[in-house]
Structure 1
Amino acid sequence: MIRHGEIVSYRLTPLGSNYTFVVKIELDGNEGHAIYKPKEGEAPLWDFPSGTLYKREYAAYLLSEILGWELIPFTIIRDGPYGIGSVQQFIEHDPKQNYYTMEGEWADQLRVVACFDLVANSTDRKANHLLVGSGGKLWSIDHGLTFHSDMKVRTVIWDFCSEPIPERLLNSLTQLQEWLDSSAEDHPSLLQELITVLSNEEVDALKRRLDWILEERIYPGLPGRSRRRRG
């Protein structure tokens, strides 16, 4: 539906510096909602190339799928009322829940998000960028500021400083590292797509981050940063 459906209505959301719309999509008598972020609605930034944030939303989704972590709602690039942009599945969620309300039961899912932020170089991980969907599934949203070639991780998640990154996550990163080191024809289709979305410099930086994470194998921290212990 998100890929082929017709956007029949849209409304601007009041939050954020970039234009973000909740859109209604219809296809074959069915309807659903999505989040539409048009290229033309992006505010200029001094440290990110203009007109690329919507691509980074899509790139983050691709990375999550390549790793098998399924953190990010289904996302594509398509046309909308204001031109090309990212369109992401809308997640029904409890608006009272955010990072600061999540206690020990969320620890394992938050460890995945924290590791993802290192790999994707997330520069804007805010508390309300984590949604609790049906069945307690944790979803990660708002990834327009990712994949910069300079290390710029900025996040609220410092719970796991100096802890070992779980082995299953490291295994996924090792597989990605091996794919990136192989010839292009051996890349999975989603990885081929990711490489076309990012610049060569950003792909090289992704490789360097993978090397660093797999060498250190722990969650980094900041001097003096207090840690909220979890289960």
Structure 2
Amino acid sequence: MPPPERVPAPGVNATGEIEELLTHGELTVEGRIREASNTVLRCTVTHEGVSTDCVYKPVKGEQPLWDFPDGNLAQREVAAYLVSEATGWGLVPTTVLRDGPYGEGMVQRWITSPQQDPGEGGLLALVEGEEAGEGWKPVALASRGPGRTALLVHADDPRLRRLAVLDAVINNSDRKGGHLLPAPDGRLYGIDHGVTFHTDDKLRTLLWGWAGEPLTDEAREVLAALDARLTAGTPLATRLAELITAAELAAVRDRVTRLLRSGRHPQPSGQWPAIPWPPV
């Protein structure tokens, strides 16, 4: 029997074909990612002679959280993917909910990034002084040891700016530097969206550089289209209602409405830590 054909790195591949592969393919566990707080398994998935690498996060491996219901982080990951696809920006790797070797869980296409440290990829940096410099946006002062501080900055990059808008919509409470994956084809992906869609304002991110600034024309157009797609009874709203609660879905609609009305990137609320820890 010939070996399965490997699906190339993410690019212009048909999303439906990847979803089919991830949903119906046979999962083979290759190893565990030990650094993750929940169970994260690296796998291959094979279907009808086609194979690709993926991540499998079984619900059974989720650690309880005080502010999120038990056993539904995988559903939130899928919901984040669906909203990302609805924007047309494709910022989240293809993600499905399915059964696997250890029960139901989230399965997401593996993204091979040329640098796993986002600082090496020109997305994040620590700079001396209080000025971000051309091409960078300031985030916060960071400690570099006793009596030493530096300014944490992120790139003034349109890909990051789109991700900041998506995070505001899905209320991402854990946008760390390690969750930013630049792909070899120039695209940027965000991963790890289990703690999203809360009804309370829990936005916690490293991408505050545009806080209070006007949204781009592109972002306003995307949000207006997303607002229409979130109307009750639409395919997106119907599918999201299967993954998050009615109150959480209403909160998504409200956040989109507020972004459109203000026309600006949100600012930290002051009622929740603005930056995740650890930041990377």
- Same fold judged by TM-score > 0.5? yes
Matched, 1:62 2:82: yes
Other-structure match for 2:131: none
Q: How do residues 99-138 of structure 1 correspond to structure 2 at under 5 angstroms?
A: 101-102=122-123, 104=135, 107-138=157-188
Superposition deviation, residue 106 in structure 1:
6.1
Matched, 1:46 2:101: no
Letter in 2 for 1:137: R
Superposition deviation, residue 15 in structure 1:
1.3
Larger Rg: 2
* Structure 1 unmatched runs, 5+: 226-231
Q: Tell me which protein shows more strand as a share of its residues.
A: 2
Superposition deviation, residue 99 in structure 1:
5.8
Superposition deviation, residue 131 in structure 1:
0.2
Superposition deviation, residue 37 in structure 1:
0.6
- TM-score, normalisation: structure 1: 0.89
Letter in 2 for 1:192: T
SS of residue matched to 2:264: coil
Other-structure match for 2:17: none
Write the distance in 1 (CA, Å) between the matches of 2:229 and 2:83. 13
Matched, 1:210 2:256: yes
Matched, 1:196 2:242: yes
Write the distance in 1 (CA, Å) between the matches of 2:22 and 2:225. 30
Contact 1:99–1:128 (8 Å) recurs in 2: no
| RMSD, aligned α-carbons | 2.0
- TM-score, normalisation: structure 2: 0.74
| Change beyond 3 A, Cα 1:218–1:194 | same
Matched, 1:32 2:52: yes
Higher mean alpha-carbon deviation, 172-181 vs 100-109, is at 100-109
* Structure 2 unmatched runs, 5+: 1-20, 125-134, 136-154, 275-280
Write the distance in 2 (CA, Å) between the matches of 1:8 and 1:65. 27
Superposition deviation, residue 81 in structure 1:
1.2
Other-structure match for 1:78: 98
Please identify runs of 4+ aligned residues in structure 1 that moved more than 3 A: 103-106, 222-225
Write the distance in 1 (CA, Å) between the matches of 2:113 and 2:201. 31
Q: How do residues 170-185 of structure 1 correspond to structure 2 at under 5 angstroms?
A: 170-181=220-231, 183-184=232-233
Q: Tell me which protein shows more helix as a share of its residues.
A: 1
Write the distance in 1 (CA, Å) between the matches of 2:116 and 2:28. 29
Superposition deviation, residue 220 in structure 1:
2.5
Higher RCO (Cα < 8 Å, 6 or more apart): 1
Other-structure match for 2:148: none
Contact 1:62–1:191 (8 Å) recurs in 2: no
Superposition deviation, residue 45 in structure 1:
0.4
Q: Note the alpha carbon deviations across 1:3-40, whole angstroms, 9 max, x for none.
A: 21111233110112110010111223332110111110
Other-structure match for 2:214: 164
